[in-house]
Chains A and B, each alone.
Chain A
């Protein structure tokens, strides 16, 4: 990625590749926080407009953490907190060939319970868990974006699992 060597993000190609690379993760991040996907869409737009206005001051290598910081600030400024309710879609895994209806039903029930439990997680745990699972981000990268240590991310992940494991007992 040679745009990483540019001084700023004022070039349209640089700006667009940054958008293609980070916009979706940014939307997901705000959605995990707020549970409001439409709000997240708006804030992504706003964060990128801000970056365009300040394009001379932003280095491509710093763009990702710049965007996450801006989006986070925008979120803190605008939103009034409501109970988060996340709605997911599932990617069907095609690894197993034939599944019994019984198995599929159980799987579906488990997924629904897991979704509810994720929504009920404390915000900091939920964000770490979902950034890792959905956005497939490494713990180190999550740590960088949230401005915490990798160790702290691993701890949050373990706390999240501890909370989520309770649903097993009820299935």
Chain B
């Protein structure tokens, strides 16, 4: 601690000796310090409206409450569903496995034959464990990165089409009416729900929107961007981009119908940063409500 700092600390604590006080006075410093303290004392932040804020608070508290009520209703529903599921499962001794990645997280699944799947946030994978040796077939809702070991054909069914491979690494994204497949090694056969197929080789991608196959594109990367903590888009519908933010950060996003397309990326680290990346180029405003875990998007 410097001599000055020590002197100031003593002044603040009120433990200066008379001599020390006099030296501060004589050098003019005391007046300067006093002025800083006095002007500092006049500073204020904008008025805090206690009544209004308290009214908001009561509201936020209620919303949390109804949220947990809804939550418990969902839980009861889930419990009933689970009971039914186990009943049916016992009755038919099937062994359907369903694995989901919760919002804001990813899930890793080892399929037993050396093949592995990583599910992106909010995605679900379903497969029959007992039948696995005979038919390597899974259903995917959402997005997953597959590393398939060689063997019998490996089939992924989605609402938008089917992907068939022998042994390879690839990523599938299937949300609403959009199917996007990237192949990193080997080759994959992609068949749309309407029955049209195309084959992807190493470092190629294809986009299928509403059963219409786009051109095969070359890609540079060797694993999906989301597995390294980013989401990237090329001329994607804004609704799809916002839905991905919702899944990555576990927030509900309310937005008007937006015609624009978005090309760009956001990182999965910060919700604020992600919203800024997406909203700024599109001239959109966003408001984050932490109490209800929701985001409201508005047009300027």
Binary contact readout B205-236 vs A (1 if CB under 8 angstroms, 0 otherwise):
00000000000000000000000000000000
Q: Name the A residues within 8 Å of B4 (CB-CB).
A: 162
- How far does the alpha carbon of A87 sit from the alpha carbon of B64 in the complex, in Å? 32
Q: Would you call A93 an interface residue if the criterion is a C-beta within 8 Å of the partner chain's C-beta atoms? A: yes
CA distance A16 to B35 in the complex (A): 37
Q: Is the interface of B mostly helix, strand, loop or mixed?
A: helix
Contact A133 B37 (CB under 8 A): yes
A24 and B48 within 8 A (CB): yes
Q: Are A23 and B1 in contact (CB under 8 A)?
A: no
Using Cβ atoms and an 8 Å threshold, which residues of chain B touch A102? none
In the complex, how many residues of chain B place their beta carbon closer than 8 angstroms to a beta carbon of chain A? 41
A91 located at the interface, meaning its Cβ lies under 8 Å from any Cβ of chain B in the complex? yes
Q: Which residues of B contact A20 (CB under 8 A)?
A: 50, 54
Bound-state Cα–Cα, A164 to B13, Å: 18
CB distance from A156 to the nearest CB of B (A): 9
Q: Kindly state whether residue B61 has any CB partner on chain A within 8 Å.
A: yes
- Interface secondary structure of A, over-half rule: helix
Closest 9 CB pairs of A and B: A158-B8, A133-B40, A158-B9, A24-B48, A88-B43, A89-B44, A80-B270, A168-B32, A154-B12
Interface string of B34-59 (1 = CB under 8 A from A): 01110111111110101001101100
A92 surroundings in chain B (CB, below 8 A): 42
Q: Is the CB of A161 within 8 A of B8?
A: yes
Query: Is A45's CB under 8 angstroms from B57's CB?
Result: yes
Roughly how many angstroms separate A161 CA and B10 CA in the complex, as a whole number?
A: 12
Expressed in whole angstroms, the Cα–Cα distance for A134 and B9 within the complex equals: 20
Does the CB pair B272–A19 fall under 8 Å?
no
Interface set of A (CB-CB < 8 Å, partner B): 16, 19-20, 23-24, 27-28, 31, 37, 41-46, 48-49, 52-53, 74, 78-80, 88-93, 107, 110-111, 114-115, 118, 129-130, 133-134, 136, 139, 154-155, 157-159, 161-162, 164-165, 168
A45 and B45 form a contact (CB under 8 A) = no
Asked if residues A46 and B61 are in contact (CB atoms below 8 Å), the reply is no
Chain A neighbourhood of B13, CB < 8 A: 139, 154
Known pairs A79-B272, A154-B13, A155-B9 / 17 extra A-B pairs, C-beta < 8 Å: A23-B48, A24-B50, A27-B45, A37-B46, A44-B53, A49-B291, A89-B45, A91-B42, A91-B44, A110-B35, A114-B43, A130-B43, A133-B40, A134-B40, A139-B13, A154-B9, A157-B9
